[in-house]
Structure 1
Amino acid sequence: MQSWTKWFVRTTGFAMSSILSVALAEPAFAGSEDPEPAPACVTMHESWRYTDAANDCASTVGVRVVYRDGATGLCYSLPPGVTRTVGEGYLGQHGHPDHLAACEVS
């Protein structure tokens, strides 16, 4: 009976770790599609913990972080004069951000 229990626990652990790794994985951005860069009046600041964006444009813009590994972050709305956190810093899952891309906020 104990060998069946050990087998069940090992099999269940393996199945759960496989499911979690797929469920927690973030989709990488397809390399063939290159997102349009954010306007030059939007600047990015990177720290070890966060990536911030500042909008010095006259209108609201949508931006997302594009990381060096090709992954993209969520799309954030930035009103004029606003600075906000838009992604992970360089110690995050995707490493250093590469640039900010324009996006449509839904």
Structure 2
Amino acid sequence: MAHVRIHVRLRAAAVPVLVGTALAVTPFSTAVAQDGAPPPCVSYASSWRYTFVTNGCEDPQSVQVVYTDGMVSPCRLIEPQQTATFAGYGFNANHPTHMELC
């Protein structure tokens, strides 16, 4: 299965990401994460094929995506104002449940 990386450079305080349907991205923030979760300035949006994780923070963030079946994605370093592409939920409805710092 081929993976495609999509990099989006965000320049506004909050920018919607469009992938077939409009997906909201949280506003930029420098909030501190709690309990292994990334700060609120890191957000994700998923579709059957891809999960896009956007780092709206001022610092790089290392995150991984956790799915319904307990699968955990590889750890990815996402630079400030960039978006990384992870696996989507697929035909098995293996939806992302949350993200974790790694």
Provide TM-score, normalisation by structure 1: 0.59
Instruction: Classify 1:97/1:88 alpha carbon distance in 2 versus 1 (closer, same or farther; 3 Å).
Output: same
In 2, Cα distance between the equivalents of 1:76 and 1:92?
24
Q: How many residues align?
A: 68
Q: Which residue of 2 aligns with 1:40?
A: 40
Q: Are positions 1:69 and 2:69 aligned together?
A: yes
C-alpha deviation, 1:38, in angstroms: 1.5
In 1, Cα distance between the equivalents of 2:96 and 2:79?
22
Q: Which residue of 1 aligns with 2:83?
A: 83
In 2, Cα distance between the equivalents of 1:68 and 1:37?
16
C-alpha deviation, 1:96, in angstroms: 0.5
Deviations 1:69-103 (A, max 9, x none): 11200000011000120x21111677101111111
Q: Which amino acid aligns with 1:49?
A: R
In 1, Cα distance between the equivalents of 2:78 and 2:91?
22
Provide TM-score, normalisation by structure 2: 0.61
Q: Which amino acid aligns with 2:66?
A: V
Q: How does 1:44-59 map to 2 (within 5 A)?
A: 44-59=44-59
The gaps in structure 2 that reach 5 residues or longer are 1-34
Q: Which amino acid aligns with 1:84?
A: A
Greater helix proportion: 1
The gaps in structure 1 that reach 5 residues or longer are 1-34
Q: How does 1:22-41 map to 2 (within 5 A)?
A: 36-41=36-41
The sequence identity of aligned pairs, in percent, is 38
In 2, Cα distance between the equivalents of 1:90 and 1:96?
5
| Structure 1: 4+ residue segments shifted above 6 A | none
